[in-house]
Amino acid sequence: MVPQLTTVSGHGIALAFSPFMGFPDAVANQYLGLFNETNNGDFSNHVFAVELHTILSPKFANIYDNHVEIDMNNLQSIESILAAYYSSKEEINKSLHLISGDPMQVWIEYDGVEKQLNVTLAPLYYPKPEIPLLSTSLDLSSVFMDSVYVGFSSSTGAIASSHYILGWSFNRSDQAQELRLLLQPPVTSFCV
């Protein structure tokens, strides 16, 4: 995420799963193009999202501005944590500033048998940390329908920023293929 201003940004970006290909009544800004004021929190949405959120939104009970959150049918997250990655060398979590403009990697892994969701972050070219940032028990069977679309949604609101996906890999039944980072477009080619 590359903000126009260095200290504030748009609302963020989310990897979303939904039975619908589009969200005709969705609102941008704090709703990230996924929901609106009347359907946010509605069980019939059948939307699951992992969000990289960059603005403190008291309306959705956010307690941090620079965080990762898990959303089910609602932008009031079921779990939220400050953005960071585990450094095995230092044996600590190190902060990641989501709007720094620095490229990063995100691993989102769900084990349907164990009902376990893990979200792991790291700077680009850093090996996948041994310990996920967020690990939670979660049963997605009530959210996922027979057919599910997966994609990204983001929103900037009143503050302009650019959100880039440099590459992604997805697999619904096994581990996703590792990204071959050296084959991705050069990061320096993106400008605001």
Between the alpha carbon of residue 2 and those of residues 24, 40, 66, 138, the distances in Å are 27, 27, 14, 31
E strand or H helix at 35:
none
Report the predicted TM-score, pTM, of the whole model to 2 decimal places.
0.83
pLDDT value for 185? 59
The band of 133, judged by pLDDT with boundaries at 50, 70 and 90, is very high
Q: Which residues of 150-185 are buried (b: 16+ CB within 10 A; e: fewer)?
A: eeebbbbbebebbbeeeeeeeeeeeeeeeeeeeeee
Q: How would you write 139-190 as a 3-class SS string?
A: CHHHCCCCCCEEEEEEECCCCCEECCCCCCCCCCCCCCCCCCHHHCCCHHHC
Higher per-residue confidence, 26 vs 122? 122
Mean pLDDT, the chain, whole residue set:
82
User: Does 188 or 137 have the greater pLDDT score?
Assistant: 137
Which sequence spans correspond to the domains of the chain? 2-171+181-189
Above 80 in pLDDT, residue 27? no
Tell me 81's DSSP state.
Answer: E
CATH code 2.60.120.200 for 2-171+181-189:
yes
